[in-house]
Structure 1
């Protein structure tokens, strides 16, 4: 997680507002939208992990990423990037503090069934890497 976040920081640190509006392909999210999505999911998934540890029989609620995105049209690329950096650092510190029992804490999801906090942490890392590839494509354009 840390490596992907650091690479994103290196890519976007000097981007102008116009550069945040670039996309890696026609009809795909811009860098600004990718950072909004990553900040949103970092907050949502971090909350899921905390709820799973603190709430017996916790069931995570699904969300519609496109509906969430539609409500963030006024969020700038720099603001979304900074929100992601902060939320990611907060979550990484939290995950580092977890015991093996905490990481094994179970929860459920209506679409994905039985899960653990450890599974979620790995999903979050993979999600960052997936979008890092898109941001690297944008940086090359």
Structure 2
């Protein structure tokens, strides 16, 4: 699979796409799973830790990762299926205010994230070649299915890196 071009997504999402140097995206997504699980479970004894006042807790970060996985995945699915309806953005902080992730165990949140990812891997692995190039509009910006798939992994990696660096103080350990 070829990498997305800079014109395949907005500059805002380039960070996530750039966190994925691999061209075998699906294999990279599968390989990320144990790294994410290990990074999250390192906080099993302190899931409500935040790295600074007013920042999200570990539990909230994982909940946000799952919400974003669903949003990016839905966008990719809609565009892959030829839906050209513009899709709205999502206000992550507003979603967080209503999420109540503190009601979940860390393991339950992790299991949910993994289940959503497995579902995405299933349908992405069967996506026809032409569908990867389909484009739609989300958050007022054009984006391809290929870019959205890369963003799924890049977003996960960004938050695992944040957990490793900001929450545990381990610099430079990308998951």
Query: Which TM-score bucket, shorter chain as reference?
Result: 0.7 to 0.9
How far the C-alpha of 1:2 sits from its partner, in A, is 2.6
- The answer on whether the counterparts of 1:53 and 1:105 sit within 8 Å (CA) in structure 2 is yes
Answering whether residue 117 of structure 2 is matched by residue 79 of structure 1, we say no
Equivalent pairs counted in the alignment come to 139
Q: Cα deviation per residue 1:2-61 (whole Å; 9 max; x = unaligned)?
A: 333321112334743x51111233432111010000111111111111111224323222
Counterpart among 21, 42, 66 of residue 69 in structure 2: 42
TM-score normalised per structure 1: 0.85
Counterpart among 132, 135, 157 of residue 106 in structure 1: 135
Cα distance between partner residues in 2 of 1:31 and 1:106: 33
1:61 counterpart residue number: 88
| Structure with greater proportional helix content | 1
TM-score normalised per structure 2: 0.70
- The answer on whether the counterparts of 1:31 and 1:135 sit within 8 Å (CA) in structure 2 is yes
* More displaced stretch, 126-135 vs 3-12: 3-12
CA RMSD of aligned residues (A): 2.0
- The answer on whether the counterparts of 2:65 and 2:156 sit within 8 Å (CA) in structure 1 is yes
Runs of 4+ in 1 over 6 A off after TM superposition: none
Answering whether residue 109 of structure 2 is matched by residue 97 of structure 1, we say no
Cα distance between partner residues in 2 of 1:3 and 1:47: 22
Task: Tell me the SS of whatever aligns to 2:154.
Answer: helix
Q: Which runs of 5+ in 2 are unaligned?
A: 1-28, 171-175
Aligned ranges for residues 109-120 of structure 1 at < 5 Å? 109-112=138-141, 114-120=142-148
